[in-house]
A = this chain, B = another copy of it.
Amino acid sequence: MVEQGGADGRAAVAGLFSHTGAAYTVGITGAPGAGKSTLTDALIARIRREGAEVGVLAIDPTSPFSGGAILGDRVRMQDHATDPGVFIRSMATRGHLGGLALATPQAQRVLDAAAFPWILVETVGVGQVEVEIAGTADTTIVVVTPGWGDSVQANKAGLLEIADVFVVNKSDRPGVAETVRDLEMMLELSVRHPWRPPIIETIATSGEGADELWGVIGEHRAHLYRSGEVEVRRAARLREELRMIVAAMLRAQVEDRCRGEEFEALVRRVEGREIDPYAAADELLR
């Protein structure tokens, strides 16, 4: 319901909203094939070992398949499919990206209200939308692989901006040292935050580096709470979400005003050169 965003979804959000705020969200993003799902799988296992429950949103903005079905490369997560302490939801959408960016915080809210202390948000891809979605987490992990630079050249700045932790996965492959050096240099050149994103080397398939990653997530979480930055970030996300909701509502108003007899009458007046298009738009808005 909340993914669809209609009246029922709004009512659901209104009802559950006061029960939210306790969950901690970890975002995992990176290019297809970087090993995000395997890494997410390792984090699920790690959280379960702590005795905690975990909700997972597996988001693929480029796939048309949505809903309960597990996406192709999430098969590994099915290890946890029969574990009642793990809830996995795949989200995707065809050509409706703004919708997905707005649906993600609502889905997080449902898991939050359902009392999952941990929420993992895995997003496939490195485009602007993926970065926006991944950026709605408390801790954001950007997963790269040796030689990643070429594939994400266009959006390095966007990834750098959201990364709290860099993971160099498949660190048994050649080119790891160069990749780490590349990342170090990027971090060096960027504005320094109080938190400097650590760079963790992992081999997700064998579990190597997973403990270190889990440790770093804990450190970042402690840093956010200690510094009070967790509230600052969540407020910033809320501002962005409010903007998206207002934009969606106004978009609906455009649809609404730009049809019907009054609209057609205006079109005819513009056709007759009685009034120019901008003046007609002003009149519609009035």
* Interface size classification for chain A: 35 or more
Are B10 and A278 interface neighbours, CB within 8 A?
A: yes
Give which listed residue, B17, B258, B271, contacts A273 with CB less than 8 A.
B17
Q: Within 8 Å of chain B (Cβ to Cβ): is A71?
A: no
Check if B267 sits within 8 Å of A235, measured CB to CB: yes
Residue among B17, B234, B235, B284 making CB contact with A276, cutoff 8 Å: B17
Task: Report the minimal beta-carbon distance from A177 to chain B, rounded to whole angstroms.
Answer: 34
Q: Does A239 interact with chain B (Cβ within 8 Å)?
A: yes
Residues of A that sit less than 8 Å from B by CB: 10, 13-14, 17-18, 20-21, 105, 231, 234-235, 238-239, 241-243, 245-247, 249-251, 253-254, 257-258, 263, 266-268, 270-271, 273, 276-282, 284-285
Report 19 cross-chain contacts, Cβ distance below 8 Å, ordered by A residue.
A10-B278, A13-B276, A21-B273, A234-B271, A238-B267, A242-B258, A242-B263, A242-B266, A242-B267, A242-B277, A242-B281, A243-B258, A245-B277, A245-B281, A246-B254, A246-B284, A250-B251, A250-B254, A250-B285
